[in-house]
A = this chain, B = another copy of it.
Amino acid sequence: MTLTGQSFIAGQWRGNADNGQFYAFCPQTNERQHQPFFNATQAQLSEAIAQAQTAFKTYRRLSYSQRAVFLRNVGEELLALGDGLIETTMLETGLPRARLEGERMRTVNQLNAFAEALEQDLAPLALARQDAAEPGRAPMPKPATQLRYLPVGVVAVFGASNFPYAFSTLGGDTASALAAGCPVIVKSHTAHPGTSELMTRAMARAIQRSDVPDGVFSMIQGADYALSHQLVGAADIKAVGFTGSLTVAKALLETIHQREEVIPLYGELGSVNPQVVLPGFAKEQGNTLAPALVQSLLMGNGQFCTSPGLWLLPAGEDEFEAAAIKAIEAAPSDTLLTPRILSSFERAMDALSDNTNVTRLARGAQSQPFHANAHLYACEAEDFINDASLHEEVFGPSALIVRYRDMAQLLRVVSQLEGQLTASVHGSKAEIAAQETLIDELSYKVGRLIFGQMPTGVEVCGSMNHGGPYPSSTDVRSTSVGLQAMTRFLRPLCVQC
């Protein structure tokens, strides 16, 4: 589809080469693409923020059903982009068609799920409480009080490279903020600027069809970090939705901490998502568990934030390890999202190979240049405990088996873990029931605790939590997936009479 390379400032497409430009990358060819994208100017961003603040005063007063209609229209217009969207994103990300088609549907479903919650008054009802007046109470009458929830104001959204639909321009953060009543300014991800432009085109059509003010959505293109810092530092921005790396989150937090009013940055970062394999289960079902873990690891070529990167396995489980080695050696190689991610992955593989505490058990074939191939490593639990470098996330298709000797050592490994988005426990019911302390310890390390299932595949539903203790996210109190994500952009108001 034809692209302009421009930003979308409160209803207007704006931008030209005067302020510099950048290009999308094509992972398949390892070359940059031809379409230039223009860096937005500071003035354009300021205008977007001012218009969003003006729009807030109208948008926040729309009825829930008006907001729901808007969200459904966004989903419809997104689907109406058709195959041109998929093809643009395939070029920009190297992700396969089936995966992107699935993610597109999930993204539409997210928008519709928030619409449905608004239509059923679910979101506010789940939170609101009230207390009746008691005029005759001594020594003081009791007033009538009612707890309501108001949108916090304009929200800045930074999407992720690994989910160009579901966690980007019109993804979960945007949907939940708009559902809450907050205008949104998206800083487009430079890894898929064409996808962002098309998504924004859908949003522009939805705004025209719906009775909402233009300023409710702007999209900023730019490869200049200063724009991101200007955005999170602006006084009218009241919250930030962010999906990406700890490094970038920290840089944005530094700017946020300079503000007079410090605002929340909801940073969904990443983790190694430990897979705890209990001894009985390893013996009885290791043969089937091992290939299932490899399959989960290979989702998006290891670029899911819930990718199972750390497997805690009893020592001496040769059958399990043999099955895992076989699956890894048979794994197809594939591109990664950006050249930076590819080079980080290659550096991480070199470091693991050089680490004398670690053995490489297997790797898949690299079928083409610029492909990342699957890797499987192993180390002893004691070495893992003592080597902090092994606790770090590797973004890409690599897993580390940590061999534990007994349950006491497993508990020590778990208690040393950093915060995680998820962990899975693989064991029989009886085996799990006998490990109360281990399960309790693991609960306090994660945002989602999974029994007998893979961590990849985050269900979009009311009881989902996608987030976790630091450093897997920057705000353990919140989720970026599911209906509760709306609460990040709401705040209480007590009305008393």
Residues of chain A whose beta carbon lies under 8 Å from any beta carbon of chain B:
57, 60-61, 102, 126, 128-131, 139-140, 142-143, 145-147, 150, 152, 253, 257, 260-262, 264, 440-441, 443-444, 446-453, 457, 459, 461-467, 469-471, 474, 476-479, 484, 490-497
Contacts and interface: CB of A to CB of B under 8 A. Distances in A.
8 contacts: A129-B462, A131-B462, A145-B461, A262-B474, A448-B495, A449-B493, A477-B490, A477-B491
A378 to B, nearest CB: 27
A341 to B, nearest CB: 24
A139 to B, nearest CB: 8
Contacts of A257: 253, 257, 262
B459 A143 contact: yes
Contacts of A470: 260-262
The quantity of this chain's copies bound in the complex is 2
Contacts of A253: 257, 262
A408 to B, nearest CB: 16
Given A129-B462, A448-B493, A453 B262 contact: no
A496 B449 contact: yes
Given A261-B471, A462-B131, A496 B450 contact: yes
Given A140-B457, A143-B459, A471-B261, A494 B443 contact: no
B491 A147 contact: no
A246 B257 CA distance: 15
B129 A447 contact: no
A306 to B, nearest CB: 11
Contacts of A457: 140
Nearest to A264: B477
Contact of A459 (B142, B461, B477): B142
Contacts of A465: 147, 492-494
Contacts of A128: 463
Given A129-B462, A461-B131, A463-B129, A493 B447 contact: yes
B491 A476 contact: yes
Contacts of A464: 145, 147, 494
A476 B152 contact: yes
Given A131-B461, A446-B493, 9 more contacts: A60-B444, A126-B129, A142-B461, A145-B459, A145-B461, A448-B496, A449-B496, A453-B496, A479-B492
